Amino acid sequence: QLQLQESGSRLVKPSQTLSLTCAVSGGSISNGLYSWSWLRQPPGKGLEWIGYVYHNGITQYNPSLKSRVTISLDKSKNQFSLNLNSVTAADTAVYYCASETGYYHFDYWGQGTLVTVSS
Amino acid sequence: QSALTQPASVSGSPGQSITISCAGAFSDVGGYNYVSWYQHHPGKAPKLMIYEVTNRPSGVSNRFSGSKSGNTASLTISGLQAEDEADYYCSSYTSSGTRCVFGPGTKVTVL
């Protein structure tokens, strides 16, 4: 069973870059069965899919965030990362990493980490 | 504002059955059999309970079942137990370009 754990900066200044990492245990991120996603939930709002990276590095992003997002793999550390640049207060949210093995559903999730954008 | 609509809260007594609805559109819930449901105890990782409308992952109790009619999907919890008290989110593939959309969540309370 996969386990995912988010880590990274919890407080980011406006206009800077939000960076998070998701450590994966119980399976390899190189496994072709999986894709690896980031999602977020702003306070009082619904969940939003940010994007995913496939085992071979192919990515797909939510069009609303595409210009600011990069998701990448680090196979040597069995983890994947999220970078979101030019952040504003609207990017304050609980950020989750998750895995997908099938079609459009998320099998395993991290606990989530609250990232606050504030000066 | 979420793309899918769920009731804010649903409650029931132990042993009862409850149903949570998830209303969408033909571009998501109605047009595709890619509806999933997640259970979330605050502070813990969300857990997949149902995928592709009716399928239960290994290890999920058969007290949880999913269905769909038209543009509305439903999650039914039968034999309600105290441990079922949590937030439940629905999700669906969408052809709108954002790939998947979520409901705002339903808080289930066991009385």
In the numeric block, which tokens belong to residue B19? 């149903």
Residues A34-91: pLDDT tens digits? 999 999 999 988 899 999 999 999 999 999 999 999 999 999 999 999 999 999 999 9
Q: Taking CA atoms, what residue in A is nearest to B2?
A: A46
The DSSP H or E segment spanning A48 is: strand A48-54
Please name the residues in contact with B69: beta carbons below 8 A apart, sequence gap of 6 or more: none
Residues B24-82: tens digit of each pLDDT: 999 999 999 999 999 999 889 999 999 999 999 999 999 999 999 999 999 999 999 99
Contact criterion met (CB < 8 Å) for B102 and A46: yes
Compute the half-sphere exposure of residue B63: CA atoms within 13 Å on the CB side of its CA.
13
The reply to whether residue A62 touches residue B98, judged by beta carbons under 8 angstroms, is: yes
Task: Give bridge partners of residue A61 from the DSSP assignment.
Answer: A51
Q: Which of A52, A94, A105, A113 to mutate to test the interface with B (most CBs of B within 10 A)?
A: A105
DSSP label of A101: S
For the segment A10-27, the average pLDDT, to the nearest whole number, is: 97
Task: Write down the pLDDT at residue A32.
Answer: 87
In this predicted structure, the answer to whether residue B87 has a pLDDT above a threshold of 90 is yes
Residue A18 pLDDT more than 70? Answer: yes
pLDDT over 70 for what percent of chain A?
100
Instruction: With H, G, I as helix, E, B as strand and everything else as coil, classify residue B84.
Output: helix
The 10s digit of each residue's pLDDT in A94-109 is: 999 999 987 899 999 9
Q: Which residues of A touch B103 (CB under 8 A)?
A: 46
pLDDT of amino acid B1 = 65
Contacts of B43 in chain A (CB under 8 A): 111
